[in-house]
Structure 1
Amino acid sequence: MAGLDAAAVEAWLAGQVDGFAGPARFTLVAGGRSNLTYRIDDAAGHAYALRRPPLGGVLSTAHDMSREWRFISAMAPTAVPVAPPRAYCADPAVTGAEFYVMDFVEGTVLADPAAAESLAPAARARAGEHVVEVLAALHALDPDAVGLEGSRKGFAERQLARWHQQIRNSGVEGAELALLDEIHAALAAHVPPQTRGIVHGDFRPGNMTFGPDGTVRAVFDWELSTLGDPMADLGYLVSLWQEPGDELPEGADPGPTTVPGFPTRDELVDRYARTTGRDVSDLPYWIAFNRWRSACILAGVQARYLAGVMADDGYADQVRARVATGRLLGESAKEALVAAGLG
């Protein structure tokens, strides 16, 4: 199986995971540009998930397995639901890369409207509410108290510099680069006062599994997690949260929350503010920031494919179809800045 030496991993599991019993069956759950995830079913009826980096195209600061392991291990004893961590392997000789193993958490991942429709309307409403409650629980944690020490000041400044450099290195040019440069300048000139907390970095329903009643059973994909301003997570969640009737760019697929029954964006923000007691007046900045960041990511991927520096894996046509999405994100980021009086 690509990316996995089943025999070597099984031998490693036998020595590292209490209760593991071979032989095991390995199934690829998710692959592509993100980390690879495999389901492992052992002879004793236990199910585990193994996460490792993709097989190629890995950026120097991306796909850090030790980061994911450190964050889910810190979350495990808290009110933030994560898959119970089992073991971490720092030796790439086992299967070609570092990896970690956690319990496999069954449930519904809200990746698309079809998944959302599998939940009853009342469960959809509860899913929206519980997503916010979990985010509030995450942001209530003291990083030092859960073993995630570090000052990590200047979160917005670091992120702005990182993604601005990424688009310049990726070959984005012309009107698209000019728009992203313009938004970057406005964001950099109006960074709001920042607080310190744990930032998931990719907090959305597609990175969670839900029970039939709509409760979040586990939050996944901690590869972008860091210490910074928690408003970045709320801004990201709101910037991606679609509502029925939202105008979508040509070629874009509707998200799960376009299915009736989920809370609106305003209801999410109101619930977060009431639950946490936080001031959310700077949220427009973080919505604009996250739309700009997403536009940078899409523009960079598009530029690399059109330059022919990525393998021909059938994804290029999808990239071209998402050009409009990237442009809309850039334009909507500028609109958000103008609406907030910052652009």
Structure 2
Amino acid sequence: MSAGEATGVRPGFELDAVTLRDWMAGRIDLSDAPLAISQFSGGQSNPTYRVQSGDRIFVLRRKPPGPLLKGAHDVLREARVMGALGDAGFPVPRILGVCEEPDVAGTAFYVMEHVEGRIVWDPATDLQAPSDRRAVFDAMNATLARLHSLDVEAIGLGDYGKHGGFVARQTALWTRQYQADEEAGRNTDMDRLVDWLATRDGLSDETSVIHGDFRIDNLILHPDQSEVAAVIDWELSTLGHPLADFAYHLMMYRLPVHLGGLAGRDLTAIGIPSEADYVEAYRLRTGRDALPDLDVFVAFNMFRFAAIIHGIRGRVIRGNAVSPKARKRADEFPELARLAWAQAQRAGA
């Protein structure tokens, strides 16, 4: 597993190598060498570390130090879903140990295997051959379809979240967040979306395990083959509507390049399947006759995305988020809201 490059441990995030080694030695076969610990540059929400013992490498993921909101940064929940999925044969890093007490690392954590492979941020540039892009997209599609086809009760995750009503609950949540942040301001496109989504009560209602942030940079690809070696970053996973999860993933086709999407690129030339072909592959793999209301699910996801950026915009205005990246995101909010409303119109708003 990888979450960017592993560098020195950031101040305030240090681990006691001796205490950690003693804990790991009781659960994992270690060499006699002391642990070498570095921190991945990603994993900002839940700090993630590279831990090496001799020639064996592990990954440790922990709650951040300091006061936390109730239910936030639940790494034990991540460990649970990954353990259950791994037992079901789904490609995730193998969980090797879980610690609920703060005595070892200061906060709860888990240790998993390190999966060797490739992390792709932009498939158009990070994958060199059109044939590799085509095969990677097919593997990505197959992996998400496989996740959504798992029986939640059979794999022991029937209580991992609420059954049914996912889109309605999420719409209500992000509507409250958007409307409560007065300093970030209101937006006509967002207001239209709020009203329109509130009337989408005729959607199909299904429940599966959903990843919540399934995109190519949350996959580890096999080092030499166009296969998914592991799916990582399960922090947003829950029980939800599989088509909402797929539509979030599908946003890559409808967002422009400067917002991290593929819209405007010559997909045929670079070997990436068209959106229509990608949707059809998912439909066939999940055994569906059709994918009803897919445009509604895309509009919902773009609304949620815009609402998150609206929150960042509010923090920038209040001076609580001053990084250039946050400011850039805040400036993108009006365009995201416009694109989200365009998806609603495409769905028949």
Q: In which range does the TM-score fall when normalised by the shorter chain?
A: 0.7 to 0.9
- More deviation in 90-99 or 101-110? 90-99
Tell me if 1:321 matches 2:328: yes
> Displacement, 1:113?
5.2
2:226 alignment partner in structure 1: 214
Tell me if 1:239 matches 2:251: yes
8 Å Cα contact 1:172-1:300 kept in structure 2: no
1:225 alignment partner in structure 2: 237
CA 1:21 to 1:217, structure 2 compared with 1: closer, same or farther past 3 Å? Answer: farther
1:295 alignment partner in structure 2: 306
SS at match of 1:218: strand
- Render the CA deviation track for 1:73-98: whole Å, top value 9, x for unaligned: 11002242001111111112322221
CA 1:32 to 1:218, structure 2 compared with 1: closer, same or farther past 3 Å? Answer: closer
> Displacement, 1:234?
0.7
Q: How big is the alpha-carbon RMSD for the aligned residues of Structure 1 and Structure 2? A: 2.5
Q: Matched residues in 2 for 1:329 and 1:122: separation?
A: 32
8 Å Cα contact 1:116-1:124 kept in structure 2: no
Q: 1:48 aligns with which of 37, 44, 58?
A: 58
| Structure 1 residue ranges without an equivalent (≥5) | none
Tell me if 1:333 matches 2:340: yes
| Residue pairs, 1:143-158, within 5 angstroms | 143-150=152-159, 151-158=162-169
Q: Matched residues in 2 for 1:53 and 1:169: separation?
A: 28
2:208 alignment partner in structure 1: 197
Amino acid at match of 2:215: R
Q: Matched residues in 1 for 2:48 and 2:58: separation?
A: 10
Q: 1:307 aligns with which of 297, 314, 318?
A: 318
Q: Matched residues in 2 for 1:257 and 1:190: separation?
A: 30
| Residue pairs, 1:1-343, within 5 angstroms | 1-2=9-10, 3-7=13-17, 8-19=19-30, 21-31=32-42, 33-43=44-54, 45-55=55-65, 59-112=69-122, 116-117=126-127, 119-150=128-159, 151-171=162-182, 173-176=184-187, 178-191=188-201, 192-211=203-222, 212-241=224-253, 247-249=256-258, 252=259, 260-278=270-288, 279-310=290-321, 315=323, 317-341=324-348, 343=349
CA 1:277 to 1:325, structure 2 compared with 1: closer, same or farther past 3 Å? Answer: farther
Amino acid at match of 1:205: I
Q: Matched residues in 1 for 2:43 and 2:230: separation?
A: 22
Q: TM-score of the superposition, structure 1-length normalised?
A: 0.87
Q: Matched residues in 2 for 1:179 and 1:42: separation?
A: 54
CA 1:185 to 1:230, structure 2 compared with 1: closer, same or farther past 3 Å? Answer: same
> Displacement, 1:171?
4.3
Q: Matched residues in 2 for 1:335 and 1:286: separation?
A: 13
8 Å Cα contact 2:184-2:310 kept in structure 1: no
CA 1:239 to 1:183, structure 2 compared with 1: closer, same or farther past 3 Å? Answer: same
Q: Matched residues in 2 for 1:171 and 1:88: separation?
A: 41
- Render the CA deviation track for 1:228-262: whole Å, top value 9, x for unaligned: 110011100101246xxx7445xx45679968222
- Render the CA deviation track for 1:164-219: whole Å, top value 9, x for unaligned: 2233444454343x432321221121141211111111111110011232210000
8 Å Cα contact 1:108-1:115 kept in structure 2: no
> Displacement, 1:220?
0.4
8 Å Cα contact 2:213-2:236 kept in structure 1: yes
Q: TM-score of the superposition, structure 2-length normalised?
A: 0.86
Q: Matched residues in 1 for 2:124 and 2:104: separation?
A: 37
> Displacement, 1:13?
1.4
Q: Matched residues in 2 for 1:143 and 1:224: separation?
A: 17
Q: Matched residues in 2 for 1:183 and 1:266: separation?
A: 25
SS at match of 2:339: helix
| Structure 2 residue ranges without an equivalent (≥5) | 1-8
SS at match of 2:87: coil
Q: Matched residues in 1 for 2:142 and 2:340: separation?
A: 26
> Displacement, 1:59?
4.4
SS at match of 2:51: strand
8 Å Cα contact 2:164-2:241 kept in structure 1: no
- More deviation in 49-58 or 85-94? 49-58
SS at match of 1:194: coil
CA 1:181 to 1:136, structure 2 compared with 1: closer, same or farther past 3 Å? Answer: same
